[in-house]
Structure 1
Amino acid sequence: MKRRDPRSWKIIVPGSTANLGAGFDSLGLALNVFLTLEVHEAEDWQVIPLSSALEVFPVDETHFIVEIVKEVADDYGKKPSPCHLYISSDIPLTRGLGSSAAAVVAGIELANALCELNLTQEKKLALANRFEGHPDNVGASLYGGFVVSCQHEKGVSLLSVPDLPVDVVCVIPKAELKTSDSRNVLPESLSFEESVEAGAISNVLVAAFLTGDWEMVGKMMKRDRYHQPHRRKLLPHYDAVEEVAGRFGAFGVALSGAGPTIACFVEREASEWLARQLEQSFPSMNVRKLSISPSGSSITIEQPKVRPSSL
């Protein structure tokens, strides 16, 4: 039997911001920061980091993305052929901008291609939600744009809007905030009355986003009852960022995911000005002006490239 030539792919997955204030574990927004993989079938598993921040991760089959690939393949009774993965990313790690969700989505996309699973977007989302535990970040990375999602006893439901006339200026502290610490400050439960109020606020937040009522978006972000009142105490700079951002054009401010990044939402024409003001006010933090990524993850077949480290 003739041996088939090794296959190669390029996978690009956007990062994301999630919760958007009151949309806890359900609202997400894809951003124009990306995890990129160049993948070549090979004799063994190797992961070659092309970004210095990624050098802390394993370089063999114990790498998180490879583990996702193997677990998805195993679900379908398949054994994926080994690959060399050249990975780069400009998604800040452990900063609440969806780096782990992007890795999950990349692993699912690679498993789908390697094992020819022909997964639908809905099936990819269900798998990603299983790994990540909630659909907001993975949904944004898969679908792009603004996503509204929920998980229930029958799976995950999601609606996406490709674009909104909004930019997100992120104020990113140098110190990380562990998701476990951020989750531990949340209450065990809410009363029925509190739950109704929190859900209603989230409903109005979604409607405000979809109708372009930016002032109302900001008000509902501030009125979140799910997580921000509990988490903001972990971030001594939150109040100062919120005040400066509001003074210079942001219509809303929210924790990005579990933090510590603070996402400042602003109409596109005012985003450069806001970013400059935040940079001046918080010189010890990384300020990045990001746009919405209207497209989610993509995978394309590539012609194999010869790289020195894979010879």
Structure 2
Amino acid sequence: MWTIKVPCSSANIGPGFDVIGLALSMYLEIHVTIKSDSQPDPSSLNCTVAYTGVGAEDIDLNPSNNLLTRTALYVLRCHNQRTFPVGTHVHIHNPIPLGRGLGSSGAAVVGGVMLGNVCGKLDLDKPRLLDFALMVERHPDNVAAALYGGFVGTYLNELNPEDMARKEVPLAEVLPQPAGGEDTGLVPPIPPNGIGHFRRFDWAKEIKALAIIPDFEVSTAKAREVLPTSYSRKDMIFNLQRLALLTTVLSDSPPNAELIYSAMQDKIHQPYRATLIPGLTDILQSVTPSTHKGLLGICLSGAGPTILALATGNFDAIAETIISRFKQEGITCQWKVLEPAEDGTTCVEEPDK
């Protein structure tokens, strides 16, 4: 039996659109057992799936359709293994809210890549696992943070469009036909080495992440549709200047609230996504270090609608203010205090019970 744990993640962190990500201490758990004395069942890819946690009533348990098992199958087929090992059972427990900007799809993809690595006995190292994850999930900020842990900066190399043309590669945002069903026998596009690059930054031990999670979803695709196709030089310079400071000031101990708050300002994605998230502009402008003791900075988490407030304390009061503002829009929320998940994805083999 193996237990795979994958942290959720928050991307962008203000000015770092599609660049920086932070792994946080809410974990997708995958429990894997393989009973080799079971009978083969090619119709189910030799795999059964159980799911508990967020959105259980809506999760597809067919291993041909589920994003996590489809990703694992992609990894297996790249290594000439057409199905899961006979008797594979996957129990997924997911506390990460879906469609809320906390990297739920990135965690599923990283978990799927690790699942394929375990089931196929492939012994792939993390750099190679990152290549496979990036063939499925095109957001290196979420994926690298979830896989490696901590606070990371990333970029993704350009890929030949032909590498993405075959249906066996399950894209996270626009899924093609299921990877199972009638087996084509083809080997999917195998990732080149070094698709993406990342660097971990230091993070001050005093800083925690307060996540305010509204009770509605914003799809990544919709959140990208509202963004302009081009930006002014002025706005790009605004973000680049702040990003250059942000990756350093978040490591300062004690943290400098004024500098962090200023460095987390953004003109690239948050102003445009405010049309999808009622109250966002007011929250980002009114919740400041001067109005709330302990607050360092505030931003949209990923594509939203979750609000991420970096703070050293006073979490209850900060959360209550933001929740009250959402309540004016008829939106209820939950909130959690999270810490950086420094270890990233882990996989532990345990004795069968």
TM-score computed with the length of structure 2 as normaliser = 0.77
Q: Which amino acid aligns with 2:270?
A: Q
Runs of 5+ consecutive residues of structure 2 not aligned to the other structure: 39-45, 159-193
Residue 5 of structure 1 corresponds to none
- What per-residue deviation string (whole Å, max 9, x for no partner) do you get for residues 121-150 of structure 1? 111122212211121111111111111111
Runs of 5+ consecutive residues of structure 1 not aligned to the other structure: 1-7, 306-311
Task: Output the CA distance in 1 between the equivalents of 2:91 and 2:287.
Answer: 38
- Give 1:151 shift: 1.5
Task: Output the CA distance in 2 between the equivalents of 1:150 and 1:97.
Answer: 19
- Give 1:77 shift: 2.1
Aligned pairs for 1:1-311 within 5 A: 8-42=1-35, 43=38, 44-51=46-53, 53-62=55-64, 63-79=66-82, 80-82=84-86, 83-153=88-158, 155-161=195-201, 163-164=203-204, 165-192=206-233, 194-211=235-252, 212-222=255-265, 224-242=266-284, 245-246=287-288, 247-249=291-293, 250-267=295-312, 269-279=313-323, 284-305=332-353
- Give 1:37 shift: 1.0
Q: Is the 8 A contact 2:202 2:251 kept in 1?
A: no
Q: Is the 8 A contact 1:144 1:293 kept in 2?
A: yes
User: Match of 1:210, SS?
Assistant: coil
- What per-residue deviation string (whole Å, max 9, x for no partner) do you get for residues 236-275 of structure 1? 22134335632223221111000111111112x3335433
Q: Which amino acid aligns with 2:346?
A: S
Structure-2 change in CA distance of 1:9 and 1:168 (3 Å): same
Task: Output the CA distance in 2 between the equivalents of 1:221 and 1:244.
Answer: 14
Q: Which amino acid aligns with 1:76?
A: H
- Give 1:199 shift: 2.4
- Give 1:68 shift: 0.4
Q: Which amino acid aligns with 1:115?
A: G
Residue 308 of structure 1 corresponds to none
* Structure 1 stretch displaced more, 105-114 or 38-47: 38-47
Residue 183 of structure 2 corresponds to none
Structure-2 change in CA distance of 1:195 and 1:278 (3 Å): closer
Structure-2 change in CA distance of 1:238 and 1:196 (3 Å): closer
- Give 1:205 shift: 1.9
Percent identity over the alignment? 31
Q: Which has the higher helix share?
A: 1
Task: Output the CA distance in 1 between the equivalents of 2:322 and 2:89.
Answer: 40
- What per-residue deviation string (whole Å, max 9, x for no partner) do you get for residues 135-180 of structure 1? 1111111111111111234621111146433111112111111211
Q: Is the 8 A contact 1:275 1:289 kept in 2?
A: no
Aligned length: 296
Task: Output the CA distance in 2 between the equivalents of 1:221 and 1:52.
Answer: 30
* Structure 1 stretch displaced more, 97-106 or 282-291: 282-291
Task: Output the CA distance in 1 between the equivalents of 2:58 and 2:321.
Answer: 33
- CA RMSD, Structure 1 to Structure 2 (Å): 2.1
Q: Is the 8 A contact 1:144 1:162 kept in 2?
A: no
Structure-2 change in CA distance of 1:282 and 1:226 (3 Å): closer
Q: Is the 8 A contact 2:297 2:309 kept in 1?
A: yes
Task: Output the CA distance in 2 between the equivalents of 1:76 and 1:150.
Answer: 26
